[in-house]
Amino acid sequence: MFGIFLLGILFLTMSLGNSVAFEEDPPHEDPPGEEPPHEDPPEEEPPHEDPNDEDKDGVDDDVEEDNKRTIEIWFGDNVVEMASIKRHGDQKDILEMRIGYNEHGLSVRVSFGTIIRTIVEDPPVEDPEELMNIQNGDDHVEEWIEYRLEFEVRFPGLIEYVDLNDNGVFDHEIDHFIEDYGINSFQPISYMLTPISADSNLHYFLLNTTDGVFAAHIYFVEEFVYVDETLISPTQVKIDIEISNFNYINDSSQLALITKLRFEGNGLEKDLTEDEKDGYANDEKEIFVTNDEYTGIFSWKETALIDGVEMDVLTNNLEVDVEDEHVQILLINYPRGNHIYHDPKIGISISVPVNSFTPVIITGTIISVIGVAAIVGLIAGVVVMKKRRII
């Protein structure tokens, strides 16, 4: 209708123009003073939609599809084990993650390896359970895993201290040590599942200490997805640390989270993380270990939410554990607060091109938005599984 209306105006204008052309010119009058033309501000161009990023998560869809993984989960006493296997490509790899929680603290162990397949001409028949034989036509194929990289992160407790030299980190020779808080007694683990896309999911685990002071929100994904503005790749695990209502003994004290790292070799610390170099993270630090072409990383944001306010997080230099020379200790220092929220990551670093499109974000209120798709459980029972085998 609006188009017809415009055509009508155009036709009327042309008709009036033709009729006026044959009339005598009217007496000349000076035109009234005209105001300077008003210039409208230029219209902003609509954001460029990348045709290769249909789900608008900032990662090229082809890259995303090539890196999708299938995750299987086993629950046991004080342990959860997961196997994440690459779906596509001739060379399959496997990422295993083990979450343990006991009197020694909360630990996350990551193992990464390649799945090797060989044709066995004369497969042995004894002890068939120990064989991973697959019938492929007339061939018997045996599969096993060649592990390339393994490392572990453990959170055994918190230190309450008074920062006497006011440098933001705990110096055991200078600062006033008040107490150790052991992360050593846990409520049953909670597990939730939510779809990311039609064929992949986000796996969410919640671990609380018995007194509710310490909690770990753990996210494991089958494809790239943003959680709380942090991009998680399918070979990473996001661990949100939450400390609530800590019973401070001193009115001027603060907390440091004890973090123990076990690598094959020594971890190195750097300010520019792999994710920052790839363009989908900022204000991070990381400790990494490299083995051939694989890089294991433990990274963390350099800020945390302290009572809802974003504040700086400082860390001590890495030190070798006096009880185990293969373990390095990192102290993550938080400003004092009743509610502390921080988000480290652990995993295998991979590089992907990231588009400049605003990503789809799954927020920290994931528990409330999962809805009927959620699977919620208090996990108990013993699961028997063969280690370092594909099931």
Q: What is the pLDDT of residues 187-200, one digit of tens each?
A: 999 999 999 989 99
Q: Which residues pair with 202 in a beta bridge?
A: 194, 221
Element (H, E) at 340: strand 339-342
Among 130-134, 222-226, 260-264, where is mean pLDDT lowest? Answer: 130-134
The amino acid at 108: V
User: Which amino acid appears at position 206 of this protein?
Assistant: L
CB proximity list for 219: less than 8 A, separation 6 or greater: 202, 203, 204, 227, 232, 237, 238, 239, 240
Terminal CA-to-CA distance of the chain, rounded, Å? 65
Helix (H, G, I), strand (E, B) or coil at 265: coil
Strand 345-348 relative to strand 214-221: parallel, antiparallel, unpaired?
unpaired
pLDDT of residue 377: 41
In a domain, 166, yes or no: yes
In this prediction, residue 6 carries a pLDDT of 43
Residue-range definition of the domain harbouring residue 330: 155-378
C-alpha torsion 191→80→318→282, nearest 10: -40
Q: What distance in Å separates the CA atoms of residue 225 and residue 374, rounded to the nearest whole number?
A: 17
Whether residue 72 lies inside any domain: the answer is no
Residue 212 lies in a domain: yes
Give the other-Cβ count within 10 Å of 150's Cβ.
Answer: 17
Q: For residue 101, is it within any domain?
A: no
Question: Tokens 């918190």 correspond to what residue?
Answer: 158
Highest mean pLDDT among 81-90, 210-219, 294-303 belongs to: 210-219
Q: Is the pLDDT of residue 159 over 60?
A: yes
Please state, rounded to an integer, the average pLDDT across all residues of the chain: 76
Q: Going by C-beta distance under 8 Å and a sequence separation of 6 or more, which residues neighbour residue 350?
A: 67, 233, 235
Which of 136-145, 148-157, 327-336 comes out lowest in average pLDDT?
136-145
Give residue 67's pLDDT: 82
Return the SS3 of 275: helix
Q: Is residue 75 part of a domain?
A: no
pLDDT of residue 284: 79
**Eight-state DSSP code of residue 209:** B
**Domain annotation covers residue 112:** no
pLDDT grade for 227, boundaries at 50, 70 and 90:
confident
Among the residue ranges 78-87, 139-148, 192-201, 339-348, the one predicted with the least confidence is 139-148
pLDDT at 278: 57
Cα–Cα dist 336/246, whole Å = 10
pLDDT for residue 93: 87
Structural domains counted in the chain: 1
Confidence band for 56, pLDDT divided at 50, 70 and 90: low
Q: How confident is the model at residue 92 (pLDDT cuts 50, 70, 90)?
A: confident
DSSP assignment string, 148-187: EEEEEEEEEEEEEEE-TT-SSS--TTTSEEEEEEE---BP
Entry field: residues in the chain: 391
d(CA 316, CA 171): 8
Q: How far apart are CA 141 and CA 119, in angstroms?
A: 4
Q: What is the pLDDT of residues 346-385, one digit of tens each?
A: 988 644 444 433 333 444 333 333 332 333 343 333 222 2
Q: Cα–Cα distances in Å, from 131 out to 111, 125, 383?
A: 22, 9, 20
Looking at per-residue pLDDT, the higher value among 257 and 325 belongs to: 257
Q: How far apart are alpha carbons 326 and 205 in whole angstroms?
A: 28
Q: Is residue 247 part of a domain?
A: yes
If one compares 119 and 82, the residue with the highest pLDDT of the two is 82
* pLDDT of res. 62: 77
Helices marked H in 178-291 — which ranges? Answer: 274-278
Give φ, ψ of 129 to 5 degrees: -70, -20
Look at residue 36 and tell me if it is in a domain.
no
**Which residues does 83 contact at the CB level (< 8 Å), separation at least 6?**
71, 72, 94, 95, 96, 390, 391
Mean pLDDT comparison of 244-253, 256-265, 269-278, highest-scoring range: 244-253
pLDDT at 43: 55
In 3-state terms, what secondary structure has residue 120?
Answer: strand
Rounded mean pLDDT of 69-82? Answer: 95
